[in-house]
Structure 1
Amino acid sequence: MPSSTTVQFEAQRSYLMAVAYRMLGNRSEAEDAVQEAWLRYAQQTAEIRDVRGWLTTVTARICLDQLNSARVRRTTYPGEWLPAYVVDPDAGPAARAELADEVSVALLVVLERLTPEQRVAFVLHDAFAVPFEEVAAVLDTTPAAARQHASRARRAAADGNIRHTAGLAEQRRVLSAFLAAAQSGDMQTLAAVLAPDVVTIGDGGGVVRTALRPVHGADKVARFWAGLLHHRMADVVEAKVDPVLVNGSAGVLLRATRAGGEKVLAVLAVAVDDGRITGLFNQQNPEKLLLGDL
């Protein structure tokens, strides 16, 4: 029979994963942070009255340390950085009736622009309603300073917001129209399905060729994608485009068969608002394309 300590921790695991993933934008790193929190909890001998509060603080501090370390590493990252997606099969209309707990790629991209302190304060207070007194304890600062970090994060998130309001059915429809137009080279139709302020971001990790900076605007994005698909498919014997859910939203998994065999080329996630694509997030970094049984 599991110990009471194990039972208490397991009751909080999914909550802690939600906190850690929003802070780190990487599922495996979030799992590592939660596991470290478990080890620290298991070693505690003093009585803990508020288990969730204690574990939230510990997990957030672990994530803050990781964010500060990652901030240094990403200054030398080649090109744009995108999170390692949570990719699931898309079972069609029946897939995931409830997506409330998912974190869209669009939101994670915005969170990535915040400082570590802003991100922790924003996630803890705005997403999980942690009081500023407890946020301050995580950040080793005053409640007033913690409140200011959250306020600045809120403004930055609003300024950099990539609109993503469409339901899953509309996301699928718009993404399908985009892919059809891009593959056919129909520039007029392609531009029409893109919002005027659309942005596309690609992450090749310095291994796969992609744009090193975000591409903005419907015309530029349309030309970029038409050229990208033409270039990537030049020596492809057979291509497969599989619908998937990327962080709970519509996306596609692109596989290609070449002379050397089949491989995953990319996972594409989208943000959709008012019938048009506002964001295209193209994950091509091979280290972030570990997709299990998909």
Structure 2
Amino acid sequence: MNLRSLLLASLLSLGALVGPGGGVAHAERDNTPKELKHVGVDEHLDGQLPLDATFRNENGAMVRLGDYFKGERPALFILAYHSCPVICGMIQHAAATAMKEVPWSVGKEYDLVVVSIDPRDTPETATKKKASIAGAYGRQGAEAGMHYLVGDKQQIDRVTTAVGFQYEYDERQQQYAHPAVVMLVKPNGQMARYLYGLEYDPKDVRLGLLEASNGRSISTIEKVILYCYHYDPQDGKYSLMATRVMQLSGFVTVLVLGSFLGVMWTRERRRKKAEDTRLPQERDAYQRRSAVTEN
């Protein structure tokens, strides 16, 4: 790879494409290379994926994007291309590394959907990439929940426009300039969250999936975890909210104290009831012994 490509990859990996709110920092566009002037992300939270968009999966079968968003489970959604020399592979392997640390499993609680932005990609290239990521993920049976899609430019652009993913083809380098981002999508195909960078905190992926799931199959503990964290668009990740932790701590304290007092009150009632039952019995026994003694 030449110096120009390395510079491009470095700019992407450092997040130079993404402004404070997740979109392109328009004020900085004049200082960026021309290849990056139209590259970035405009977040479309709650925006709808074009579910009728058609692609071929890694097996060559024609599918609709909506086949993977039937209201059953959320998805980790990635836009990439399979001949990418640096960024795409790093993004997908970083996602696989994070997913390994998430209790939920691909194919059970959520899916992985990867759409190629390169019309030249084929089911064969998709199969190879899927095998690589499935191997990196390493959980048995996960392949059933990994979906690698390829299609023509019209269908690709429908998807990228819907999610606010802006990319540019560099004819000279024969490569695509694109942002480093993964997305969490709700079971109905609506955008829930965007996570940026070349490394993803497993906590962020887990919380993003919990948030995208719309409450489906979330345990009480997971609800508590989600309550304590919120997504910080400035940092592009989830952070612990001190006020919520204090509220939750106060609630837990009251709950524990109330439970303790309840147990003590119940014990006292039982003790008093036992005494009230025992005293007449002891009195009767004493009277009987006294009567025997007098006789």
TM-score of the pair, normalised by structure 2: 0.22
Per chain length, whose mean CA-contact separation is higher, i.e. which structure has more relative contact order (CA < 8 Å, sep 6+)?
A: 2
TM-score of the pair, normalised by structure 1: 0.22
Rg (Cα) greater in structure? 2
